[in-house]
Structure 1
């Protein structure tokens, strides 16, 4: 008897969640549409949407066009029923954004701030978050929490950041960070956060490897709707695979790592640390920039093909460089194709969907997803 009761509860919870996610994804829908698409009974759907309306998480938006009978009422999620924030911490900057339940970015800011060890740094960020929420008139009872992206190994078994070269951190308990904020905090590695943002907007069942080309090179594997973390939470550390044996020195102390050849820093340093200026010069066919770009894309093509050979999935190029790559994908694909053993005619390399704030977005979406799982 108890077993059956638990099963019925789980079935009802699953139905409720599927209904809400369907409405969230499809915008304005009707009860008959939901019932048909999800293959549920109309009474089941109607009972659940009635409860959502009573909670204020759903709203009626008039009547839809008639399909031959009585016009069905349109239903839509109240996207601002709950809000969340995402924050991306790097060595020299902090990005912050505000999201609604549909993942829409309501506000985004990025400011210079050098990372500092110690509680004081996080208390300053907490104060900045409060100012950010006040600016957007966010009622705190509607605020779900904060997702934080770090450039380092976020180990959930040890509840700590166990290594971050960028921040000079070898051990940082997550509690030391979260205790500075008066809201629930969720943590992700920066490459994982970028992949998470891409993955939640992907088609169902899409699998890809996200190669983050920022001031350091990282990566993440997204499959079956979630991130693959790895045994030691280091899955996707493509930046430290050896690309050129005994090659250029990497910041990790080893030689020939992908990071030494394909970090955004390599391109930006040619223009005084300004990546945008490098790509502006590239458009003018500056000889020095073209030579650097030729070598950069040769190494990138080699890495992308290697990753594809191992994983047999699409490779999404993100990070700082990924936001500039759209116009150069055909050229890059030709280089990849020359190395591809199977002569695949369909390009498996793509530029990222999100050109700025991808890590902060992914961190914020993790907060939203945590709420959606409870609906």
Structure 2
């Protein structure tokens, strides 16, 4: 087992692994009609809600005065002043500058989120042989990154990496976010992650019980989609496709992650594309995974390097046909494909894009954008950070 560590000092210029100056808003899942009316609110509930509203307005790096916060949140000026005082005392905001004011009267003092006031532990389990852990601030800047190389990820590995990151934190911890492949429910249980050999693993409870820190667990493709969506375009409907040993997808539609009633939305790897195709590990023939997973493609290319172009082109076309249905069902306009660039290269993306545009009605959907992730290998980390922060400011 080997590890590698990358440090970035707080308050200094972020490293190449950091995500800096990203203008985004926090992800907020939809609430059903009548959500607010099913319960009454105590004065303490109202104070907490107003406090979260103020923090959301300031997130991620917005400058606002007390009067701005009162006006934008719809609360009284005295309540806004009390909230600002409490947030200053907690160190969550700071006086950043004086806003210029025209006319008589004192200039208004502006406030900004203190991004380094809290830290978040993120662990990405996307690669079954490598755990990636990060310590971030409130806006996703990576302050420390640790990679743990193992034969096969176990829950003990996850617990140990969380502990290492906790021990290096130099600010109070807001929470822990874990991104796992497979089917993950809303309670933090990984119901099925074949690549990890996991079934019904209560990962969130295991971490939270050991460390006493609020913990959430998400599907890795879902949070990667969230990261790309918040970083690039908050108005698009986006599909994020992760190709590794398996094939998974995360989808953002109308600003919401599509999870499904069984938390299995995006599990497209075992959709049968070729009934006469290769046997899949799931027991069926010709699943999308057998045609497009990086592991399968690499093996086929190594067996006959002269056929590389044909293999990559056919794989991209197969993925494009499946994605054309997702696009038509969800009105997707931004497709992100992520995978090892030795295999998932420009030829693969071009083939996928050509196939998509061949199989959809361009008059309805136009020509669909197909691209690499702008955040590179940070998509899951950044998305998980945003989801974790959102838990506390929603």
* Cα gap change, 1:60 to 1:153, in 2 (>3 Å): same
Question: Please, which of 312, 317, 336 is the counterpart of residue 356 of structure 2?
Answer: 336
Which has more helix, going by share of residues?
A: 1
Task: Name the SS for the 1:210 alignment partner.
Answer: strand
> Residues 211 and 315 of structure 1 are in contact (CA less than 8 Å); yes or no, is this contact kept in structure 2?
no
1:94-243 pair list within 5 angstroms: 94-115=131-152, 121-134=154-167, 136-139=168-171, 142-156=172-186, 160-174=189-203, 175-176=205-206, 178-201=208-231, 204=234, 206-243=236-273
Distance 2:40 2:220 in 1: 42
Distance 1:30 1:322 in 2: 46
Question: Please, which of 380, 390, 394 is the counterpart of residue 359 of structure 1?
Answer: 380
Distance 1:138 1:191 in 2: 30
Following superposition, the deviation at residue 34 of structure 1 comes to: 4.3
2:90 maps to which residue? 55
2:114 maps to which residue? 78
Distance 2:49 2:210 in 1: 35
* Cα gap change, 1:261 to 1:333, in 2 (>3 Å): same
* Cα gap change, 1:212 to 1:177, in 2 (>3 Å): same
Distance 1:173 1:47 in 2: 40
> Residues 87 and 360 of structure 1 are in contact (CA less than 8 Å); yes or no, is this contact kept in structure 2?
yes
* Cα gap change, 1:308 to 1:5, in 2 (>3 Å): closer
Distance 2:231 2:99 in 1: 26
Task: Name the SS for the 1:6 alignment partner.
Answer: coil
Following superposition, the deviation at residue 194 of structure 1 comes to: 1.8
Question: Which string of whole-angstrom CA distances, capped at 9 and with x for unpartnered residues, describes residues 193-222 of structure 1?
Answer: 322333454655643333222221012233
Distance 2:370 2:193 in 1: 28
Distance 2:81 2:279 in 1: 63
Aligned residues: 351
> Residues 322 and 355 of structure 1 are in contact (CA less than 8 Å); yes or no, is this contact kept in structure 2?
no
> Residues 124 and 380 of structure 2 are in contact (CA less than 8 Å); yes or no, is this contact kept in structure 1?
yes
Following superposition, the deviation at residue 154 of structure 1 comes to: 1.9
* Cα gap change, 1:167 to 1:332, in 2 (>3 Å): closer
- Unaligned 5+ segments in structure 2 are 1-37
Distance 1:78 1:325 in 2: 40
Distance 1:345 1:319 in 2: 23
Q: TM-score, normalization: structure 1?
A: 0.78
Following superposition, the deviation at residue 186 of structure 1 comes to: 1.7
> Residues 139 and 386 of structure 2 are in contact (CA less than 8 Å); yes or no, is this contact kept in structure 1?
no
- The answer to whether 1:294 aligns with 2:331 is no
Q: TM-score, normalization: structure 2?
A: 0.75
Task: Name the SS for the 1:238 alignment partner.
Answer: coil
* Cα gap change, 1:325 to 1:98, in 2 (>3 Å): farther
Question: Which string of whole-angstrom CA distances, capped at 9 and with x for unpartnered residues, describes residues 95-123 of structure 1?
Answer: 1111111122222232311226xxxx434
> Residues 312 and 348 of structure 2 are in contact (CA less than 8 Å); yes or no, is this contact kept in structure 1?
no
> Residues 301 and 307 of structure 2 are in contact (CA less than 8 Å); yes or no, is this contact kept in structure 1?
no
Deviates more, 1:264-273 or 1:94-103: 264-273
